[in-house]
Amino acid sequence: MKIAVVGTGYVGLVTGTCFAETGNEVICVDIDAKKVERMRQGDVPIYEPDLDVLFARNQKQGRLKFTTDLQSAVDHAEIIFLALPTPPGDDGQADLKYILGVAKDLSGMISKYTVVVDKSTVPVGTGERVHAALAEKLDTDLFDVVSNPEFLREGVAVDDFLKPDRVVIGTESEKAEEVMRRLYEPFVRSGNPIIFMDIRSAEMTKYAANSYLATRITFMNEIANLCEQTGADVDAVRKGMGSDTRIGKRFLFPGVGYGGSCFPKDVQALAHTAGQYDYNFKILDAVMDVNTRQRFRIADKIEAYFGDDLKGKTVSLWGLAFKPNTDDIREAPALYTIDRLLAAGANVRAFDPEAMDNVKELYGDKVTFCGDQYEALQGADCLGIMTEWSVFRTPSFDRMKEAMAAPIIFDGRNLYDLRRMVEAGFYYDSIGRSKVG
């Protein structure tokens, strides 16, 4: 099938590349000419495992192309995906100016029947607004609007796209339903469902799913904080809970709060939608409040140990991305930790396998960025672990002790066994477990 993807951010680039991988002819459109030229030269602008391999293969074989010319992409396409940013405003409402702006542009460009798909995460009712924008200059027989929310986890997004748990399609058009069914059938050959519903329900499904997962994480963070007060062990509690088939094991790991491009803004947006309908969504308000506090959990622990004045102290941070296997630092807990440490007068040395360039743009020489995790420990009075990269899971504790001024670890991801840390001779303070050392 002939596809155009408007927007080459995280969702757009994964979407376009994976559709090309199943034999479709894909043109990706972006207004950033320098970025388009980079991609034409084979440079993938984001880090996502396995994306570079698919990107190179499909570009080489001519199925994946890039342009700044929206009209040429429209002329090519029978399906147009809108994968544009929907950043939150000051009130938490998703900003739809990019999506509605492109929809207005498309209204003057489409000349044959085309399915226009909202791939971005958008509030309930956006499909109708996109339809109205397209209908300004178009006969409604020439297009259908579809909602097709993405459920990609950064770090495993390629696998999620190629082998989805489910595909959600929102449409009231039988013609558009058939087009979308043909497009997605190669991805669900193992029997996972394509679920068709109305557009508003599809839009709500995305927000409901992400907000529920954010709530699970937040609930476990509250349990972990209570475990620290009561002397319980959150790892044992998590295993006891997760073995209940009604609950399940996933998204029950405590830590320093959720971040990234989806959960924070989606929870805010759903809460804003509730407010528009005069509904007091108390759970979401609590989730946002708890997550805001949880982001500072490691900074709290460091200041509780050393005092509020950290002048003269050197703090090493392992991990800057909001989760492993991505370079995404949007709403990353590490950034809130850095701000707090710098404000308290600490020197910060940091290492992350992929995200350091992005963080350098924010902090410059205020933070010392290091070549590996052991270099980051040189002279450190303590270590804060912010992201659970695999390279941090089995370090040499002897090398760590040699490099550090003091063997003190504050672990925001619960990477290490408590008994092992006692044996290694560290003071070790993690999330929802007893302090040791």
What does the pLDDT look like over 161-212, one tens digit per residue?
999 999 999 999 999 999 999 999 999 999 999 999 999 999 999 999 999 9
- CA nearest 205: which of 165, 161, 163, 150? 150
Answer yes or no: is pLDDT of 372 > 90: yes
Answer yes or no: is pLDDT of 279 > 90: yes
Could you tell me the pLDDT band of residue 28, with boundaries at 50, 70 and 90?
very high
Look at residue 67 in the predicted model and tell me its pLDDT: 98
Look at residue 261 in the predicted model and tell me its pLDDT: 83
What does the pLDDT look like over 311-337, one tens digit per residue?
999 999 999 999 999 999 999 999 999
Domain 206-293 has CATH 1.10.1040.10: yes
Instruction: Give me the sheet containing 167-170, strands edge to edge.
Output: 64-67, 25-29, 2-6, 79-82, 114-118, 143-147, 167-170, 194-197
Are both 2-197 and 295-429 of the same fold?
Answer: yes
Look at residue 57 in the predicted model and tell me its pLDDT: 97
Question: Which residue in the list 18, 28, 262, 382 is annotated as catalytic?
Answer: 262
Look at residue 92 in the predicted model and tell me its pLDDT: 80
How many other C-beta atoms can be found within 10 angstroms of the C-beta atom of residue 136?
A: 11
Cross-strand pairs, 118:
82, 147
Answer yes or no: is pLDDT of 369 > 90: yes
pTM over 0.75: yes
- Our answer to whether residue 227 is catalytic in this structure is no
How many other C-beta atoms can be found within 10 angstroms of the C-beta atom of residue 229?
A: 8
Look at residue 61 in the predicted model and tell me its pLDDT: 97
Could you tell me the pLDDT band of residue 400, with boundaries at 50, 70 and 90?
very high
Could you tell me the pLDDT band of residue 419, with boundaries at 50, 70 and 90?
very high
Answer yes or no: is pLDDT of 294 > 90: yes
Could you tell me the pLDDT band of residue 91, with boundaries at 50, 70 and 90?
confident
Domain boundaries, the chain: 2-197, 206-293, 295-429
Cross-strand pairs, 94:
88
Could you tell me the pLDDT band of residue 87, with boundaries at 50, 70 and 90?
confident
Looking at every residue in the chain, the average pLDDT score rounds to: 96
Answer yes or no: is pLDDT of 93 > 90: no
Look at residue 288 in the predicted model and tell me its pLDDT: 96
CATH level 3 topology of 2-197: Rossmann fold (3.40.50)
Answer yes or no: is pLDDT of 402 > 90: yes
Q: Supply the DSSP symbol for 256.
A: S
Match 């992929």 to its residue by tokens.
354
- CA nearest 182: which of 165, 200, 194, 197? 194
Tell me the C-alpha to C-alpha distance, in Å, between residue 35 and each of 133, 216, 326: 28, 37, 19
Cβ–Cβ < 8 Å for 143, 79? no
Cβ–Cβ < 8 Å for 267, 331? no
Look at residue 85 in the predicted model and tell me its pLDDT: 92
Amino acid letter for position 31: I
Question: Taking residues 264-286, what's their average pLDDT?
Answer: 94
Answer yes or no: is pLDDT of 267 > 90: yes
Answer yes or no: is pLDDT of 90 > 90: no
What does the pLDDT look like over 100-116, one tens digit per residue?
999 999 999 999 999 99
Answer yes or no: is pLDDT of 129 > 90: yes
What does the pLDDT look like over 334-360, one tens digit per residue?
999 999 999 999 999 999 999 999 999
Q: What is the DSSP secondary-structure string of 145-178? A: EEE----PPTTSHHHHHHS-S-EEEE-S-HHHHH
Helix/strand/coil for 268: helix
Specify the CATH number of the domain 295-429.
Answer: 3.40.50.720
Look at residue 410 in the predicted model and tell me its pLDDT: 98
Could you tell me the pLDDT band of residue 54, with boundaries at 50, 70 and 90?
very high
Could you tell me the pLDDT band of residue 51, with boundaries at 50, 70 and 90?
very high
